[in-house]
Amino acid sequence: MKKLLLPLLLLVTIVAQAQVPNTISAADKVYGLSKFWQEVNYNFVYLDKVDRTMWDNAYREAITKVQQTKDDYEYYRELQKFCVLLNDGHTNVYFPKSIDSLVYTSMFGKYRIFLSNIDNKAIVTSINLSAKDEVPVGSEIIEVNGLPTAEHLKKNVLPYIASSTEYVRMDWAIQNMLRGLVGESYNITYRTPKGKVKNLALTHAKTAEQEVYPTMEKRELLELKWYPNQTAYLALNAFHDPKINELFLEKLPELRKAKALIVDLRANGGGSTSIGRQILDYLSPDTLLYGSKNSTRQHLASFKAWGVFTEPKDTVGNAWAAKSLNAFQDRLMYEFDYTPSRNKVKQSDKVIVPTVLLIGHKTTSAAEDFLIYADNQKHMTKIGENSNGSTGQPFMFELPGGGTARICTKKDTYPDGRAFVGYGVKPDIEVKMTLQDYIQKKDPALDRALKHLKGQKLAAK
């Protein structure tokens, strides 16, 4: 039986790999690359932060590289690698469905392994139920295909991860460090929580087993529960669906009983800024709320032409020359009209109590806009880790072979001009999860929030 099994596995691998589409001509490969390069040059709002010589040289090199790719998968990987040079989380290249359906992250037939970045280590945080004793949760991947994990990440994973912040880039790199096509194999070495070092051969294939350990609980849009001392815990897990506003209003009478409040935004990947702000209206005493300031690139062709003949010394006291030079240097910006948002909620309807906002690396986009609006709320304290550090208005367009790309066209800052894109919104009290916290099923940020609010109550007495 074993003699028959090996050839069968090899056949499955060969067939799977043969299914990778190879439909894009050399000319279209160059066109797709050039389309992306062109749209970045014309629309990318952070082009002023890009080394233009490096960017153009990389484009020239990529012209040759993309034509040498053997299939559509390799082509899109080259585009993704090119995109990463921009260091932006709202600027990405996405596989077409024909490729995406062949790419697995966690499935390896007999095994299904989920990884997370904890203490800058690649930690197994969930696994299919039948394998939980063989690969215990909390195990650390220490080698991949003979390379130390850090070296594997640097060489084979990080060059393809687009992000505005290095810490999010590492999070995503670890989550995707074993990603690959159906049939692709990895030999990993891992250390269990008890210190035993083991090896495991993995090959990407569909996993039939559905059960995972620990069970992944489905997150609702909004979750409300209570802790001692009339402390309400309110999880706002997404702002993409206006239904969350309805759910919030349903819970509002109960929330008004709270003497303290924890708002958990750690799983909120964004959505609509206005949806989040409508909830904040009930949690802020202010009648005006100040959101982020926005700007975008401005294109005035004649000014760019005049800028060719303009030098920095010409701009002194000369607005026309300054505008021309900025246009030539692709630094001419359009500032959107800025007005604060009016909070029309009656004071009697609001919940104004000592409040903690739990934030982390997955607090993204519209959830970060929520934090900007809440920035000067004296009764609110941010606890956890830096937010994602990426927001903006992406311009979407199609690429040859059915894939898509997006480019960030809008710059967002604090009202006073402070940057948070590329840095994240920083917590007032930083709390990081350790490996031991995870193994012991502790939530140190939540624990710190409860302690902080209890301390505030004692101080108020």
pLDDT string in tens for the chain (461-residue length): 444 444 444 434 444 454 899 999 999 999 999 999 999 999 999 999 999 999 999 999 999 999 999 999 999 999 999 999 999 999 999 999 999 999 999 999 999 999 999 999 999 999 999 999 999 999 999 999 999 999 999 999 999 999 999 999 999 999 999 999 999 999 999 999 999 999 999 999 999 999 999 988 889 999 999 999 999 999 999 999 999 999 999 999 999 999 999 999 999 999 999 999 999 999 999 999 999 999 999 999 999 999 999 999 999 999 999 999 999 999 999 999 999 999 999 999 999 999 999 999 999 999 999 999 999 999 999 999 999 999 999 999 999 999 999 999 999 999 999 999 999 999 999 999 999 999 899 999 999 999 999 988 655 54
Q: For the domain 222-291+340-391+431-460, what is the CATH code?
A: 3.90.226.10
Q: What does the pLDDT read at residue 460? A: 53
Q: Which residues pair with 325 in a beta bridge?
A: none
User: Which residues does 206 contact at the CB level (< 8 Å), separation at least 6?
Assistant: 104, 107, 109, 182
In 185-237 the beta strands, taken as DSSP E runs, fall at 185-191, 197-203, 212-213, 222-227, 231-236
CB count within 10 Å of CB 65 equals 16
Give pLDDT, residue 459.
Answer: 54
Q: Which residues contact 47 (CB under 8 A, 6 or more apart)?
A: 40, 41, 297, 330
Short-list 255, 267, 227, CA closest to 450: 227
Widest Cα–Cα separation across the chain: 86
CATH topology assigned to domain 103-213: Pdz3 Domain (2.30.42)
- Sign, CA dihedral 249-254-259-262, equals negative
What DSSP state is assigned to residue 157? I
Token pair for 306: 């005049």
Which run of H or E residues covers position 123?
Answer: strand 121-128
Q: How far, in Å, CA of 193 to CA of 124, rounded?
A: 10
Where do the domains of the chain lie? 2-99, 103-213, 222-291+340-391+431-460, 296-335
* pLDDT score, position 455: 80
The region that residue 418 occupies, defined by phi over 0 for left and psi between -120 and 50 for alpha, beta otherwise, is beta
**Hey, is 105 helix, strand or coil?**
coil
Torsion of CA 129, 133, 139, 141, to 10 degrees: -80
Query: What is the DSSP-derived secondary structure letter of residue 425?
Result: P
